[in-house]
Each structure stands twice: as C-alpha cells, then as structure tokens.
Amino acid sequence: MSERRFRRPAMLDPAQAEAIQGDEDPALRSEVAHTSAQALVRGGREGAEDPELVRRLVQLVDTEGLDAIAALWSRSPHTTLPGTLWRLYLLREWVRRDPAAVSDRYRLGLERAEVAGAVAGVEEPPGPEEVSAVCDKVLSGLYDGDLAVALERAAAFLRVLATGSAMHADWIEEDDDDLAFRVTRRAGALLTTAEELEEAAGLYRGGRLD
C-alpha cells in the first residue's frame, strides 16, 4: 500500500470538540469514537466487520484531516482506544508544530533520562522523527506492527521530554517565575501521559483496550 499524503489538521481542544455533530448525545458520541478508533487501528490490518465504514473513515482522513475524527476521541479516558489515539494525536501535533523546542528538550533529557531497559529491542528511546512517523501510521490506519510496542516507544519518548523540560525549568533563576511554573507543570503532564500510554499498552496486550 502506498503512503497517503497527510493534511495538517487544526489543533483541537475539548471545548472546540463539543461543537461537532452528535455531541448532544454522549452515548452516540462514545459509540462513534470507539468504532472509528477500532476501524483505524484494526481495520486495515485485520479487516473489519463493516468494510464500508472503514472506506469512509479512510476517505475522511485523506480529505478532511485527522481533526474531524480526533474531535470524537478528545474526551475518552486514557484506558480506551480512542483516548489513547487522542494522546498520540496531540503528541504528533506538538512534534510537528514546535520541532525545534521538542528536539531541544529531547537532547537535554536524553543526557539524564533513565528509561527502564531497552525499548522494543533498542538501547535508546526513539527520537522526534521516529515517533512522529509511527503516530502518522497509527492514526491513518497504515500501521501494521504491534500497537503496544508503538505506545511504549511513545511513552519512552515522553519520559525523555519530561526530563528535558524539567531541566530547562532549572535554568530559570527565580523560583516563583511564572515561566518556571509553566515549564515544570508541562514536564509533569508529559510524565503523566507517558504513564497513561504505558498502561494502555498493557491493556492492549491483554485484549482490554477497546
């Protein structure tokens, strides 16, 4: 299968996501979020019960960008497949939108981050380009590898970024500096997301990430 060309989607937050059609019915929204996530992750590799649905979703990604689908995932818990894909979507967008800052934090963090053991058979955690490429494939239905491994690699990357962000905060002289607070808070959020992706990887291996 040839690579499809990606359109750069707009960054959505949960407030913007509320405007999409179907938001008035939380049960319907949840059903569509789960169905779309399963079709993207499993449809291309294993086939799907509804091939027409998969075709429409692939066409939507091609023509409208991921934002139309990601909006459906934004309020799903991290212990669900759509919630997991939402976190990969945000990670991919951050790497795309601010590659210089991400690369700087990664280089800083790589010097001191402690990643437990080898990740997927490699000695070093993946870098920004690799993580972005894997997220591209997962979010477009083209990924044919082990999703749990992809999630663990993304988590390792986020742990490095969290360390780099915390180190950057240490450079700010004033302890009560607002910038230091925001950078440190972001480091904590990155670590939390890493832990959530690791948990999702375990659920996926156990067949419980739906």
Q: Is residue 54 part of a domain?
A: yes
Q: Is residue 109 part of a domain?
A: yes
For position 62, what pLDDT does the model report? 63
Pair 137, 41: CB distance under 8 Å: no
Residue 171 has pLDDT above 60, yes or no: no
Q: Among 48-52, 106-110, 165-169, 184-188, which stretch is predicted with the lowest mean pLDDT?
A: 48-52
pLDDT category at 10 given cuts 50, 70, 90 is very low
Q: Is residue 111 part of a domain?
A: yes
Q: Is residue 197 part of a domain?
A: yes
- What tokens appear for 22 in the block? 């179907």
Q: Is residue 2 part of a domain?
A: no
Pair 71, 61: CB distance under 8 Å: no
Residue with tokens 């939507």: 60
* Domain tally, the chain: 1
Global pTM reads 0.75
- The 10s digit of each residue's pLDDT in 76-129 is 999 999 999 999 999 988 888 888 888 988 888 888 765 544 344 445 678 899
Q: Is residue 112 part of a domain?
A: yes
Query: CB under 8 Å to 3, separation ≥6 — which residues?
Result: 142
Q: Is residue 50 part of a domain?
A: yes
* Nearest Cα to Cα of residue 73 among 116, 24, 31: 31
Q: Which domain holds residue 53?
A: 14-205
Looking at residue 73, the DSSP 8-state letter turns out to be H
Q: Is residue 162 part of a domain?
A: yes
